[in-house]
Amino acid sequence: MNSQTIGNLHSMFYPQAIAIIGASSKPGKIGYALLKNIVEYGYEGRVYPINPERGEILGLETYPRVQDVPEKVDLAIISVPAQGVPGVMDDCAKKCVRGALIITSGFSEVGEEGRKLENQVLEIARRGNVRVIGPNMMGIVNTAGKLNALFVLPKAIPGEIAFISQSGAMGNAILSLGSKLRIGFSKFVSIGNMADIDFSDLLEYLENDNDTRVIAMYIEGLRDARRFLRVAERVTRTKPVIVIKAGRSKAGARAITSHTGYLAGSDRIYDAAFRQARVFRTNSIEELFDVAKAMAYQGGLAGRRVAIVTNSGGPGIMASDACEDQGLTVSELDQVTVNRLREGLPRICSTKNPVDLVANADPERYRFAIETVAGDPQVDGVLVILTPPDAIIPRGSTTIAQEIVSLTRVLKKPLVTSWMGGVEVEEGIMVLEEHRIPNFPTPERAVRAMAFMSRFPSRKK
Amino acid sequence: MNSQTIGNLHSMFYPQAIAIIGASSKPGKIGYALLKNIVEYGYEGRVYPINPERGEILGLETYPRVQDVPEKVDLAIISVPAQGVPGVMDDCAKKCVRGALIITSGFSEVGEEGRKLENQVLEIARRGNVRVIGPNMMGIVNTAGKLNALFVLPKAIPGEIAFISQSGAMGNAILSLGSKLRIGFSKFVSIGNMADIDFSDLLEYLENDNDTRVIAMYIEGLRDARRFLRVAERVTRTKPVIVIKAGRSKAGARAITSHTGYLAGSDRIYDAAFRQARVFRTNSIEELFDVAKAMAYQGGLAGRRVAIVTNSGGPGIMASDACEDQGLTVSELDQVTVNRLREGLPRICSTKNPVDLVANADPERYRFAIETVAGDPQVDGVLVILTPPDAIIPRGSTTIAQEIVSLTRVLKKPLVTSWMGGVEVEEGIMVLEEHRIPNFPTPERAVRAMAFMSRFPSRKK
């Protein structure tokens, strides 16, 4: 990709002025929802609703055509019927708009006639150097620029994960689930039919985006797989790329063809290529979230040796089993470490790994044990488990979380947690995650995330 | 097990009168928390705090010894220091108490001396025909009898899953997580050291417990594996038994030895034996919950053929992939079904399986599609997926849930859902789960649960 594309994409993510072509004053219309979301999310640039009828929408003056806007337009968002898009694109080209999101559907995804229309639009765009995301997409988000250009309810919270989705509704569900799980996004792109901008372009753009630490994608098919892999091979040297490639099964591949018109492609080839490019492939949305969060918050593990600190034997055992499943090692602690633990902990505690601090473990005991095991050269990362201690230590799950947060400021090794339970541990989990300690509802999921972190040993915290 | 044991256990789960030996007036003490939990959870029988000092605790008159209680005592809950337990058990035997929970720790789990003490207590109990759960346990719950005899915060909500845990803290975390996920329990038992009552006894008791549809267990080691398998083989003919057997790995097995003193045993042998007894083994707490909920709410699937109905292509593809992973078939729909769908649905919808109702699908479209595919002889169960439609159909995720609830009253085949997203779909999920439609946050987890349901083809809804 030439630097010009990067420039265009940058203008689209950080526009000074946006035109919404097909803006509507009717609640329920996409052209109304788009405008409302942009305004309500706090966008600080100028917004120009474009509508043939003169007037105001949400207090903003409308303009009949994009050419009538009294300043340069960086981003045009197009939501007019498909047949009207070529004309609108012509206007955008004349206005020297840097980029357009074509929300409208009814293009190549519906068959031959749509494909012709899509090509026609693209030709006009190319001539005018307007870069296009879409058509058949639901918008983009840039939380750092306070831009929420989606026609569904805005819900992305700021964070370090960029997410690109080839399914609009899937992207919407992911944003919604993310906000429930307090997972933050830097950028979000519903990529649509990829008439112009595709996964590789965005990958190159995100490679140098300082707000993005982890890139996640939902892919149904690639236009140019070779280019994608070439780009991914470079990007994954500095940022983890996590991918769901749907349509692995016969049933799934059939469904893709009727969904986007894409061929899913041979799954084995995808698998091999992803491996070569160090792209992490997952088959589950839950795993995608878990590993993205872990990498965004804590970065890579220098090795595969884990220390487990817990206030309850059972979950420590479950975590040990999970480590072996996932190819991690439950470290054999150095004799010096064991001796220190033995001196500093009550006799009833287990000083082997997993270190069991037993039910009445207080914040100080947790701190001492974590500091001690993290100082062991045999340990690359620490998993801290807690089952509700609140019957014995009032607000224990919160105060222990606070102690760990203060400890991680000086700790040199990655740390993840599993505060297990419901309402009793919720406050503690909030404390942990606000301070970038990734928490998982079960030890198994925490261990799975650590196994992923160990794939990026070179990454600095 | 003879019917006498069942009788004793029944008296322990449904006691007329409880004595709490070691009851305390000091908040923070286990003997206080136990009493408080029992009273606050709404227990309707009589409760007698036993304490050498006369007086009142929480408004209840105390008695110096269990013999002084003016009526028959069904259940004694013992929370006095370990050295005092033999004397207390002697009192219980004299009083003809039916069963005792020994909360106190410091017995076989701490070594040889503790083992001797445990044997001494057991001998006294046997002589007096007092059945014992524990020692070293955290209590029991029977939601149907409004009995919450735990010393941690009470949180079990009523339901149809019985859970037996060999780790107290793990059990506590499971109850807490369950209540957050709105998963209800019939009985809960922290089984402790299994000096007397063990997994097999409880399995036999639960076999005939009408409140229990699914039995789940967390096991570190079995005392008599042969007996367990013999019992399980019988019980699984009528009720699914789901087990986490921890200590599969070397690290995990080591940790068990230092946790309960049990030998984890050869994992391969456990695996084979569980398979023979049709006990479903899982390695994750999340899967345990998912499959238990699915079976409790919907029962078994007659076969492995699934129809998928969705308002969004991407998740439908993910579900198709997951079906193939899990050994389920995405049904090829009967031509009659396809024709009916084609007639009744807008042209833009996909009438192949997965049936894509597209983003503007309303409750009626969902109802029509689900009814139609469920009527197909090629379909054994239905997975319904929804991504938030609320931008287009206000409160769509709730109204579609309501439509499905009304439909399942007449539907003859099991149905599970995946309402994907956060706050927008929460109300809809509440509606579904209140009416025993199991919902899963991702299609992959829904499919995994359906695969489990297909292992119980004979089970009636």
End-to-end CA distance of chain A: 29
When divided into structural domains, chain A yields a total of 2
User: Looking at the structure, do residues A77 and A31 belong to the same domain, yes or no?
Assistant: yes
Average pLDDT over residues B134-156: 93
Query: Per the CB < 8 Å rule, is A390 touching B315?
Result: no
Q: How far is B420 from chain A (nearest CA, A)?
A: 6
Distance of alpha carbon B154 from alpha carbon B156, whole angstroms: 6
Mean pLDDT of chain B: 94
Q: Which of B153, B259, B387 sits opposite A390 (nearest CB)?
A: B153
According to DSSP, residue A131 is labeled E
Taking only residues 380 to 419 of chain A, the set having a beta carbon closer than 8 angstroms to any beta carbon of chain B reads 387-388, 390-392
User: Is B173 contained in some domain?
Assistant: yes
Average pLDDT over residues A124-128: 97
Give the pLDDT mean for A161-180. Answer: 93
> What does the pLDDT read at residue B141?
98
Output the average pLDDT for chain A: 94
> In this complex, is the C-beta atom of B190 within 8 Å of any C-beta atom belonging to chain A?
no
- Domain boundary pick from A278, A293, A308: A293
Asked whether residue B268 falls in the same domain as residue B334, the answer is no
**In this structure, are residues A121 and A92 in contact, taking their beta carbons and an 8 Å threshold?**
no
- The span from the CA of A268 to the CA of A320, in Å, is 32
Judge if A155 and A176 occupy the same domain.
Answer: yes
Asked if B271 reaches chain A (Cβ–Cβ under 8 Å), the answer is: no
Asked whether residue A157 is assigned to any structural domain, the reply reads yes
Partner B contacted by A420 (CB < 8 A): yes
pLDDT at A200 over 80: yes
What 3-state DSSP class applies to B296? helix
Residue A332 has pLDDT above 90, yes or no: yes
Asked if B95 contacts B120 with a C-beta cutoff of 8 angstroms, the reply is no
To test the contact with chain A by mutation, choose from B317, B332, B360 the residue with the greatest count of A C-beta atoms within 10 A, namely B317
Spatial contact of B417 and B383, defined as CB atoms under 8 Å apart = yes
**pLDDT per position as a tens digit, A344-376:** 999 999 999 999 999 999 999 999 999 999 999
Percent of chain A predicted with pLDDT > 70: 97
Q: Considering only CA atoms, which of A340, A356, A242, A238 is closest in space to residue A291?
A: A242
Nearest to A33 among B252, B254, B391 (CB): B391
| B316 lies in some domain | yes
pLDDT of residue B265: 67
Q: What is the pLDDT of residue B102?
A: 98
Q: Is the pLDDT of residue A460 over 50?
A: no
List the CATH number of the domain containing B126.
3.40.50.261
Same domain, A197 and A61: yes
- The alpha-carbon gap from B129 to the nearest alpha carbon of chain A, in Å, equals 31
Restricting to B residues 295-334, those with a Cβ less than 8 Å away from any Cβ of A are 311-318, 320-325, 330
Please give the Cα distance from B56 to B41 (Å, whole number): 19
Answer yes or no: is pLDDT of A1 > 90.
no
Contacts of A33 in chain B (CB under 8 A): 391
Contact A258 B350 (CB under 8 A): yes
User: DSSP per residue over A288-315, as a string?
Assistant: HHHHHHHHHHH---SSSEEEEEESSHHH
Contacts of A180 in chain B (CB under 8 A): 421-423
Quick one: pLDDT band at residue B459, thresholds 50, 70, 90? very low
| Residue A177 touches chain B, beta carbons under 8 Å | yes
Write down the pLDDT at residue B264.
Answer: 58
Q: What is the pLDDT of residue A458?
A: 58
Q: Are B74 and B97 in contact (CB under 8 A)?
A: yes
Q: What is the mean pLDDT of residues B306-330?
A: 96
In a domain, A350, yes or no: yes
A88 shares a domain with A14: yes
**Do A137 and A268 lie in a common domain?**
yes
Q: Are residues B63 and B78 in the same domain?
A: yes
Q: What is the DSSP string of B150-166?
A: ESSPP-PPEEEEEEEES
The answer as to whether A135 is a domain residue is: yes
Q: What is the pLDDT of residue A54?
A: 87
End-of-domain residue from the set A239, A264, A293: A293
Q: What's the pLDDT at B313? A: 93
What is the pLDDT confidence band of residue B1, given thresholds at 50, 70 and 90? low
Write the CB contacts of A368 (distance below 8 Å, at least 6 apart in sequence).
Answer: A344, A345
Chain A residues with CB-CB distance to B314 below 8 A = 165-167, 169-170, 218, 220, 246, 259
Q: Which residues contact A276 (CB under 8 A, 6 or more apart)?
A: A229, A233
The range of the structural domain enclosing residue B233 comes to 3-293
Three-state DSSP at A100 gives strand
Residue A16 CA from chain centroid, whole number: 25
Decide if B356 touches A, using CB distance below 8 A: yes
Q: Which helix (H) or strand (E) holds B330?
A: strand B329-330
Chain B's closest residue to A444, CA to CA, is: B284
**pLDDT at residue B345 in the model:** 97
Assess whether A286 and A305 both reside in one domain: no
Q: Are A235 and A326 found together in one domain?
A: no
A248 reaches B (C-beta below 8 A): yes
Residues B169, A359: C-beta atoms closer than 8 Å: yes
Percent residues over pLDDT 70 in chain B: 97
- pLDDT single digits (tens) B49-84: 999 988 999 999 999 999 999 999 999 999 999 999
Q: Report yes or no: A183 and A289 within 8 Å, Cβ to Cβ.
A: yes
* Token pair recorded at residue B24: 């305390």
Whether A107 contacts A44, CB under 8 Å: no
Q: Are B376 and B337 in contact (CB under 8 A)?
A: yes
Does A102 or B393 have the greater pLDDT score?
A102
Which pLDDT score is estimated for A262? 60
Same domain, A209 and A151: yes
Q: Which residues of B touch A445 (CB under 8 A)?
A: 286
Residues of chain A positioned with their CB less than 8 A from the CB of B172: 387-388, 421
Is residue B276 one of the residues assigned to a domain? yes
Contact indicator for B31, B79 with CB cutoff of 8 Å: yes
Question: Is a pLDDT exceeding 60 seen at residue A117?
Answer: yes
User: Does the pLDDT value for residue A391 go beyond 90?
Assistant: no
Q: Is A229 on the interface with B (CB under 8 A)?
A: no
At A400, list the tokens.
């222990």
A110-124, B260-274, B338-352: least confident range? B260-274
Looking at B293, B323, B354, the residue that finishes a domain is B293
pLDDT tens for each residue of A430-446: 999 999 999 999 999 99
**Out of B173, B320, B441, whose CB is closest to A420?**
B173
Which region, left, alpha or beta, applies to residue A299 given φ > 0 means left and ψ of -120 to 50 means alpha? Answer: left
Cα dihedral A259, A261, A266, A269, rounded to 10, equals: -100
Does the residue A417 lie in any domain?
yes
Q: Which residue of B has its CA nearest to A152?
A: B391
Of A285, A321, A421, nearest to B173 by CB-CB distance is A421
- The answer to whether residues B263 and B350 belong to one domain is no
Q: Which of B176, B251, B441 sits opposite A177 (nearest CB)?
A: B441
Chain A: residue nearest B388 by CA? A173
Greatest distance between any 2 Cα atoms in chain A: 80
The beta strand positions in B368-454, using DSSP E, are 381-386, 415-419
Residue B459: inside a domain? no
Whether cis (ω within 30° of 0) applies to the bond prior to B52 is no
Q: Are A188 and A171 in contact (CB under 8 A)?
A: yes
Q: Is residue B220 located within the same domain as residue B85?
A: yes
